Amino acid sequence: MSPIYRWWRRSIVEPVDHEAVFARVLDESGPSARYIFMIMMSAGIAVLGLLLSSPAVVIGAMLISPLMSPILGLGFALALFDFRELRRALSALVLGTVAALLFTALIVSLSPLQAPTPEILARTSPNLFDLLVALFAALAGTFAIIRGRGETIVGVAIATALMPPLAVVGYGLATRSMPIMGGALALFVTNFVTIALAAMVTARFYGFGHHLSRRQSWAQTVILILVFVGMSIPLGISLTRIAGEAVTAGKVRTFLSGRFGDRARVTQLDIDFSHAPLSVRSVVIAPRSRAISSAQLQDDLGDVLGRPVSLQIDQVLLDPGAGAVETQRAELQSASANAARDIAAAAAVTRLVAMAAGVPEDAVTIDRDHRRVTAFAAALPGAPLEAYFTIEQRASTAAEGWVVTLVPPVTALPRIAFANNVDTLDPAAVRAVDLSIWAARHWNSPALGVPGLPADAAAVRQPTLAQRRALAIASVLREQGITAVPAPAAGQAFQLLLGVPQPRPEAAGPPA
C-alpha cells in the first residue's frame, strides 16, 4: 500500500461519516410538493427578472431554488451505483424541470413584455465560462454536503448555473423561438451534466462507493453505466465546440499579432461564432509604420481560418517613440471613442425606428450587442399591411448594419386573387402570400389557415379548382416554414387566416 493511498484513506476518507451523509442526500433529493412549489416560484422570479433585464431579480430567484439537492443526489447515485437513488433523483429533476418550464411559459404568454432582452440572449449558448461556473459550483456543493458546511449558500451558486437557462427555455417555448429555446436548453443540459458528473467524481474522491448502496441486479448496473455514458455525450459535444472556439480565437489573436509585429498589442478581441460570416471585432495598438488595410486583413484572416470572415478592426497607430503612458492614453481614447460611437449609433437608430413606428423612443427595444431593434407600430387608419412592411424596409435601409423589426398591429391579411380558371400564383398573388408570411412571423403565428385546403391532400384524387389553388398556396407556406391548416373554402380570391387565436409578436425578418 503506497504512502499516498494511506494518506488519502487516513486524511480524506476516514473523517467522513459516509452513512450519515448519504442518508441526508437520500432525504433531500427526492420529489415532494414543497420541492415542486419552490422550483416553480424560483423559475417564475427568474423569468420575470429576465424579461425586465434585471440581474437583481434573477439573483433573487437563485436564493430559493431547490435544484441542488436532486442533482447532487444524482451525482452520489452514480458514485455509489445506487439504482434506486438514481431513479428518485431523476424523477425529482424531471418533475421540477417540467413544472418550471410550464410555469415560465405561462408567465411569458400572459406578459406584455415578450421581446428578447440582453439577459435572455446571454443565456442561449454554452461557453467555457458557463462551464467553469457549473464545475466550481458542483465541487463546492458536493464538498459542503460531505463536510456539512454552507450547503444553502452553495445551492445558490448551483442555481445560478441552472435556473436562468431553464427559465429561458420556458421563454423560448412560450414565444415559439426555436433558436433561443434550443440554445438555452443546450446550456442547461451542459451545466446540469457538468454538475452531476463533478459531484460524482468528488463523492468518489471522498470514499463513497458501491459498498454503501443497496444490492442491485446486473441489469440495473448496466442501466447506470448507460446513464453515465449518455450524460457524457452532450458534455463532450459542448466541450468540443468550446475547444474549437478557443482554438479559433487563438488563431485570430496570433494572426493579428503576427501581422502588426512584436511591438503591437491586441487589446480587444470579440468573436461572434453565431454570425455568418464569422464576425470578428478587435482593437490593435501598433506603430504608425505597421498600418495595414482592413480589407486585406479580412481576406488574409479568412484564408487562415478557412471560412468567410467579417472583420471590424480599430487600428490605434502610435509614433515609434511613444511610451507606456502614451500607449495607455491612446487605448483609453480609442475605447472611449468606440463606446461613444456605439451609444450614438444606438440612439440614432432608436429615434429612427420610433419615428417610423409612430411610438415614443422608450417604446423601442434595442439590443446593442446583437444590433437588433424592435418596435410595435402604431395603427395607421386605413393603412394596409403592405404599408407597415414598406416602413420596415425603409427603416432597415436607413439603419445600416442593424436588424430592424417593425411589428404591425393585428389586421386582416391581404387577399390572394387568381385569374379565371387558373390555379397558379401570379407575381401579385405571390406578393400577397409573402406579406401574409411576413405578418405571421412578426405576430409569432406558426400556422396560417388556407381556405379550401383538403385535410388529406393525398386522399383527393381529382382536386377541384379551389382545392388546387389552396394546395398551391400551402406549398409556398411550407417552403417558408409556416404550417398550412384547412379553413372554410373561399371563391375567386383567397384570404389566409391566422392559425392561432391570439398571436404573439416576435422579431423576424422580412419575406424573401
Could you tell me the residue range of the domain that residue 490 belongs to?
346-498
Cell 432608436, located at residue: 350
Instruction: Return the C-alpha cell found at 414.
Output: 391581404
Do both 322 and 363 map to the same domain? Answer: no
Q: Which CATH number does the domain housing residue 358 bear? A: 3.30.1330
Q: 200: part of which helix (H) or strand (E)? A: helix 178-205
Q: Considering only 145-154, 216-225, 267-276, which range has the smallest mean pLDDT?
A: 216-225
Please tell me whether residues 145 and 60 are part of one structural domain.
yes
DSSP 25-36: HHHHSS--HHHH
Tell me, yes or no, if the pTM score tops 0.85.
Answer: no
Residue 284 is part of a domain; what is its CATH number? Answer: 3.30.300
Instruction: Please give the pLDDT value at position 318.
Output: 66
Q: How many CB atoms lie within 10 A of CB 246?
A: 12
3-state secondary structure of 446: coil
Q: What torsion do the CA atoms of 174, 179, 184, 190 make, to the nearest 10 degrees?
A: 140
> Same structural domain for residues 83 and 123?
yes
DSSP state of 460: -
Distance CA 226, CA 234 (A): 14
Residues 127 and 274 in one domain: no
pLDDT band at 321 (very low <50, low <70, confident <90, very high): low
**357 with 386, same domain?**
yes
SS3 126: coil
- Tens of pLDDT, residue by residue over 126-158, are 777 778 888 888 888 888 888 766 555 666 667
Does the structure show a pLDDT above 90 at 361? no
For residue 212, tell me if it sits in a domain. Answer: yes
Which residues does residue 283 pair with via DSSP β-bridges, in sequence order?
Answer: 268, 314
Query: Which run of H or E residues covers position 493?
Result: strand 493-495
Closest CA to 187 of 160, 205, 157: 160
Asked if pLDDT for residue 93 goes beyond 80, the answer is yes
* pLDDT reading at 185 higher than 50: yes
Residue 227: inside a domain:
no
Total number of domains in the chain? 3
Q: Are both 147 and 101 inside the same structural domain?
A: yes
Q: pLDDT tens digits for 4-59?
A: 767 777 777 777 777 788 788 777 788 888 999 999 999 999 999 888 878 888 88
Q: How far apart are the first and last CA of the chain?
A: 72
462 vs 202, 312, 459, 465, 492, CA distance in Å?
68, 58, 9, 9, 19
- Residues 212 and 275 placed together within one structural domain of the fold: no
Would you call 371 helix, strand, or coil by DSSP? Answer: coil
Residue 442 lies in a domain: yes
Looking at the fold, whether 52 and 200 belong to one and the same domain comes out as yes
CATH number for the domain that contains residue 103: 1.20.1080
| Same domain as 18, residue 111 | yes
Q: Based on the domain organization, do 157 and 35 belong to the same domain?
A: yes
Low-confidence winner among 308-322, 393-407, 435-449 (lowest mean pLDDT): 308-322
Bond into 503 cis (ω within 30): no
Q: Looking at residues 387-404, what average pLDDT do you find?
A: 85
Same domain, 321 and 408: no
